[in-house]
């Protein structure tokens, strides 16, 4: 019998969007609340996960999207609507398993949003991927550093194995440092995701892109535990 052919993985282009300094600054509390939600799932605290989800549901609509140009505003609204739908699921569920299932599509959209608009946090945000998450379907999340704390497994052993650091470093998303010194968005330049020097993690690095080609790592063959 012929071996089953793996489906081809379609790469997605994430268009970098220029946004005013004021807008990117207003994203920081949203990112911080997302990180708090992630940590609540790491510690399997469903009450805190629900609380931080509610906080995000308040913060996200308050961001002043009217200062974006029409195309950027349309893209932001698409991302925000998707995130809001999954936040509602997390805040209304009190079981960590269900919250983690909703955190998966939320994080995938959150990654795309931050890749597109960027941010003004103090350091690069780091995208991780766990191929073992959600019954080996795989899932993404964002960390504020390269210290990996898997929200889909948390601190409890899984089948006798510590899965807290089960993750592949997929990409670093740098802050828009140019906006720390200038009030107007920097000119967009051609760019691409390049293979990082550390091939052990399969890591990719972003070079201040206007377009980011984000290969779907759900089918990656390298696992880090």
Q: What is the pLDDT of residue 180?
A: 54
Q: What is the pLDDT of residue 201?
A: 36
**Structure token digits, residue 132:** 């073992």
Q: What is the pLDDT of residue 225?
A: 54
Tens-place pLDDT, residues 154-207: 988 888 889 999 999 999 999 987 555 544 444 443 333 323 323 233 444 443
Q: What is the pLDDT of residue 177?
A: 72
Taking 50 as the pLDDT cut, the residues of the chain under it are 1-9, 182-224
Return the domain boundaries, the chain.
12-219
Q: What is the pLDDT of residue 156?
A: 85
Q: What is the pLDDT of residue 155?
A: 87
pTM of the model: 0.78
């Amino acid at each position: 019998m012929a071996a089953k052919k793996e489906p081809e993985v379609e790469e997605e282009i994430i268009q970098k969007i220029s946004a005013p300094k004021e807008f990117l600054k207003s994203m920081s509390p949203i990112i911080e609340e997302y990180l708090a939600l992630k940590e609540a799932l790491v510690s399997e605290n469903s009450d805190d996960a629900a609380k931080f989800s509610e906080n995000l549901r308040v913060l996200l609509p308050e961001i002043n999207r009217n200062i974006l140009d029409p195309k950027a505003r349309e893209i932001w609204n698409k991302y925000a609507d998707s995130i809001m739908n999954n936040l509602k699921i997390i805040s209304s569920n009190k079981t960590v398993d269900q919250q983690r299932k909703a955190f998966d599509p939320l994080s995938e959209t959150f990654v795309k949003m931050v890749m597109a608009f960027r941010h003004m946090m103090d350091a690069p945000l780091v995208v991780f991927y766990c191929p073992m998450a959600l019954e080996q379907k795989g899932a993404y999340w964002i960390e504020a550093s390269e210290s990996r704390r898997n929200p889909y497994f948390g601190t409890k052993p899984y089948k006798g194995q510590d899965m807290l650091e089960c993750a592949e470093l997929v990409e670093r998303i740098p802050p828009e440092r140019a906006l720390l010194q200038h009030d107007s968005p920097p000119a967009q330049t051609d760019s691409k995701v390049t293979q990082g020097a550390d091939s052990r993690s399969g890591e990719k690095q972003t070079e201040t892109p206007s377009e980011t080609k984000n290969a779907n790592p759900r089918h990656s063959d390298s696992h880090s535990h």
